[in-house]
Amino acid sequence: MNTAQHWQKVYTTKAVNQVGWYRPHLDTSLALIKELPLPKNAAIIDVGGGASTLVDDLLQEGFQNITVLDIAPAAIETAKQRLKEKSLQVRWLVADVLSVSLPEHYYHLWHDRAVLHFFTEKSQQQRYLSQLKRALKIGGYCIIGVFSLEAPPKCSGLPVQRYSIETLQTLLGKDFSLIRSATEDHYTPSGTYQPYVYGCFIYQPT
């Protein structure tokens, strides 16, 4: 089973509120986003946004240029059905972030909660970084939430790469400057403890 098939199966065999990363609202992400000086027409991409309610809350905040990318068609369809006519205000991309063609230096904000940590191979991490640098505006921001060092070594049956804020910074490199970090005590619907670490960075290549 390839990656796309794996995530499509997850979203077609489990209710949205039963997947391990489910939260009613991405409060940590929202708090970090609200601190940024983003205009309401800022181009925002939610990588792996799937069925998350972040897009709902961003629309509620008045943001007008939102893209949601996910590898699983079922996840995107769930979000569209939930938003009903509001879904027409959003760009939806069913694609793999490692290979999708994104507009160059277009996005003011790249948001990723729980995608990067599934890329455990160096080649995957470097491809992710390449995609991030290509898509993000100079002076743009990225918010990345990943499993912390204390988290379990697997999620949804797949191995994960766990991070501290220092190792996340090391991966991103000197072109990204940390603005703020945060932690999140996340519990899955079944009660498993999955602590996250978040970094909010500004992209200023030298």
Phi-psi region for residue 114, left (φ > 0), alpha (ψ -120 to 50) or beta? left
Helix intervals (H) in 153-201: 165-172
pLDDT given for residue 136 in this prediction: 98
pLDDT given for residue 64 in this prediction: 97
Last residue of a domain, one of 95, 110, 132: 95
Last residue of a domain, one of 95, 120, 138: 95
Token pair of 62, please? 């008045």
Contact yes or no for 160/195 (Cβ under 8 A): no
Contacts of 121 (CB under 8 A, 6+ apart): none
Same domain, residue pair 148 and 194:
yes
pLDDT given for residue 106 in this prediction: 98
**Structural domain boundaries, residue 126:** 99-206
pLDDT given for residue 11 in this prediction: 72
- Taking the C-alpha atoms of residue 162 and residue 153, their distance in angstroms, rounded to an integer, is 7
Last residue of a domain, one of 31, 66, 95: 95
Q: Per the structure, how many domains does the chain have?
A: 2
- Taking the C-alpha atoms of residue 55 and residue 45, their distance in angstroms, rounded to an integer, is 10
pLDDT given for residue 169 in this prediction: 98
Same domain, residue pair 189 and 156:
yes
pLDDT given for residue 23 in this prediction: 81
pLDDT given for residue 22 in this prediction: 64
CATH of the domain at 87: 3.40.50.150
| Beta strands, E only, 126-192 | 136-147, 154-155, 158-159, 176-187
Same domain, residue pair 171 and 196:
yes
Closest residue by Cα to residue 175 from 152, 154, 203, 141: 203
Q: Which segments of the chain have a pLDDT < 70?
A: 1, 15, 17-22
Tally of residues, the chain: 206
**Inside any domain, residue 183:** yes
Q: What is the pTM of this model?
A: 0.94
Same domain, residue pair 78 and 105:
no
Amino acid at 129: L
**Inside any domain, residue 27:** no
Same domain, residue pair 185 and 128:
yes
Same domain, residue pair 131 and 206:
yes
User: pLDDT tens-digit profile of 175-196?
Assistant: 999 999 999 999 988 888 999 9
pLDDT given for residue 50 in this prediction: 86
- The number of CA neighbours under 13 Å toward the Cβ of 106 is 12
Same domain, residue pair 190 and 137:
yes
